[in-house]
C-alpha cells in the first residue's frame, strides 16, 4: 500500500473517474464537521474531532465511508439500499452520492464524539 502524506496526494493518486466523488465526500464531511482535522490514517483520508470521526476512500467499485459501528447502526434503515458491514458503507460508483444521508451520519458522529469528550473532562472541584 502506498503511503500518502496528504489528502490531496491520496485523491490525486486515484483514477480520474473517481476524484470528483472523493472531493464531494470530503467537502460534505468538512461542511458537517466544522473544526475537524483532516488526517491520513490507515492509508486513507479521514477526519478527527475529539478522536477519530470518519474515514473515506475509493475502492475498486465503490466509495467507502467508515463512520464506526455506531454511525452505521444509527442509520440502518436509511442505509438498507447500500452494502454495509460493521463500520463500513459502500456507495457504488456511477450513482449519485447521497449527500444528505452522509451529512446526517457525519453530524451524528460529531455529536457522539462531543458527548464522549464531555464525559472524559475532569470534574471541577468546588
Decide if 63 contacts 32 (C-beta within 8 A): no
Question: 120 or 67: whose pLDDT is higher?
Answer: 67
Average pLDDT score over residue span 62-91: 96
Quick one: which of 40, 35, 70, 33 has its CA closest to 55? 40
Q: How far apart are CA 25 and CA 19, in angstroms?
A: 10
Burial class (CB in 10 A: 0-12, 13-18, 19+), 39: middle
**Tell me: the pLDDT tens digits for 30-68?**
999 999 999 999 999 999 999 999 999 999 999 999 999
- pTM greater than 0.75: yes
Print the SS3 string covering 30-92. HHHCCCCEEEEECCEEEEECCCEEEEEEECCCEEEEECHHHHHHCCCCCCCCCEEECCEEEEE
| Three cell numbers, residue 123 | 470534574
Amino acid at each position: 500500500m502506498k503511503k500518502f502524506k496528504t489528502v490531496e496526494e491520496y485523491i490525486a493518486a486515484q483514477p480520474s473517474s473517481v476524484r470528483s466523488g472523493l472531493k464531494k465526500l470530503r467537502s460534505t464531511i468538512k461542511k458537517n464537521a466544522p473544526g475537524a482535522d483532516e488526517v491520513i490514517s490507515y492509508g486513507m483520508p479521514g477526519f478527527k474531532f475529539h478522536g477519530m470521526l470518519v474515514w473515506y476512500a475509493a475502492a475498486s467499485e465503490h466509495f467507502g465511508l467508515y463512520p464506526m459501528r455506531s454511525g452505521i447502526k444509527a442509520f440502518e434503515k436509511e442505509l438498507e439500499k447500500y452494502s454495509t458491514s460493521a463500520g463500513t458503507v459502500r456507495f457504488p460508483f456511477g450513482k449519485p452520492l447521497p449527500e444528505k444521508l452522509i451529512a446526517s451520519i457525519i453530524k451524528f458522529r460529531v455529536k457522539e464524539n462531543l458527548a464522549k469528550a464531555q464525559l472524559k473532562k475532569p470534574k471541577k472541584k468546588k
